[in-house]
Structure 1
């Protein structure tokens, strides 16, 4: 069986977000922004999982579109955490690179699926 790259990468991203959340709460005593990132960052993988069992192609695109919005929101929270100095540049770049890779992957999946629906 072929590996589901977006499923794997979104899960790995969620794990990293959970670990970052713990770090921000325990070490930086930051609770509000980190909770927002925790919600959006873990939601990406959850929506990808839901899309796996979508009832129709349209339902699949809808669920992947929600995942796309969630990863975009996660990028926002990462940028805000960096600009407010809760994350240093290295911490930010590492997670942000993962997030950008995910948004590109999800966007490609959505576009390809939509194109195949029209054929």
Structure 2
């Protein structure tokens, strides 16, 4: 998985999440929701990195599935922050679009690996 698109995109997304959470904390003085977003949004890439050194194909699928769950949780926190007016719609649209792209890539990766396992 050396320099994969998924690995790079998840890292870039994590940077955006860190910057967004920093802005929310500094300008809006909101810490609880932004911390939840920070945890889930950066965990996506961390789990993808863990999958890079999975012990088996099943372990790889498990790590990628955890990354997918974190991406789903990130979508929840982004929606909540938008609906409570902590982030503007423009910021939300940008981040949610990025997150949904990661979700599609993760689903595709997981399904490809599951199909590979089923063929053996």
**Under TM normalisation by the shorter chain, which class is it?**
over 0.9
1:49 matched to 2:54: no
Q: Which residue of 2 aligns with 1:102?
A: 102
Q: CA deviation at 1:96?
A: 0.4
Matched pairs, number: 119
Q: Which residue of 2 aligns with 1:89?
A: 89
Stretches of structure 1 lacking an aligned partner (at least 5 in a row):
none
Q: Which residue of 1 aligns with 2:111?
A: 111
Q: Which residue of 2 aligns with 1:11?
A: 11
Secondary structure of the residue aligned to 1:27 is helix
Q: Deviations over 1:51-101 (max 9, x none)?
A: 001010000000000000001000000000000001111010000000000
Q: Which residue of 1 aligns with 2:59?
A: 59
Q: Tell me the distance in 2 between the aligned counterparts of 1:100 and 1:7.
A: 15
TM-score normalised to the size of structure 1?
Answer: 0.97
Q: Deviations over 1:23-55 (max 9, x none)?
A: 000011110000000000000000000000101
Q: Tell me the distance in 1 between the aligned counterparts of 2:2 and 2:17.
A: 26
Q: Tell me the distance in 2 between the aligned counterparts of 1:46 and 1:17.
A: 13
Query: Pairwise CA RMSD of aligned residues?
Result: 1.2
Q: CA deviation at 1:3?
A: 3.6
Q: Tell me the distance in 2 between the aligned counterparts of 1:81 and 1:72.
A: 15
Q: Tell me the distance in 2 between the aligned counterparts of 1:28 and 1:9.
A: 27
Q: Deviations over 1:3-33 (max 9, x none)?
A: 4011000000100000001100001111000
Q: Which runs of 4+ in 1 moved over 3 A?
A: none
Secondary structure of the residue aligned to 2:29 is coil
